[in-house]
Amino acid sequence: MPRQKPMVHDWEEFGEEIYEKVGEALDYFCWNVTGDTPLDCYIAHMDRDLYDLAEEFADWSHFGITEKDIELLREMPDDVFRKYTNKMQRAIEKVVRELEREL
């Protein structure tokens, strides 16, 4: 039996879910793991798309980003992918602005 792809309304739900997982992983990484300042860390991730960010943190099991998530990101419709990539980039830009104000 051929593998069924998620229905269109499921892409939005998946997009929001992976956006949250990637955001949590990036926050943890920038504040607790990297040797860079949080500001430098976020700046280094500002131009990366959702797929690249998810792939970076896929091995961190405590954030729940799985290989299945990576596969689904490859299959995600372009418009939904762009929507959540843009949402992630705007969130990162907001954190960068806030950290720059604190300097």
- Report domain extents, the chain: 16-102
Report d(CA 23, CA 21) in Å as an integer: 5
CA-to-CA distance for 92 and 96, rounded, in angstroms? 6
Nearest Cα neighbor of 48 from 16, 12, 73, 11 is: 73
Over residues 23-49, the pLDDT tens digits come to 999 999 999 999 999 999 999 999 999
Tokens of 10: 């499921």
CA 98 vs. chain centroid, Å, equals 19
- Provide the whole-model pTM: 0.88
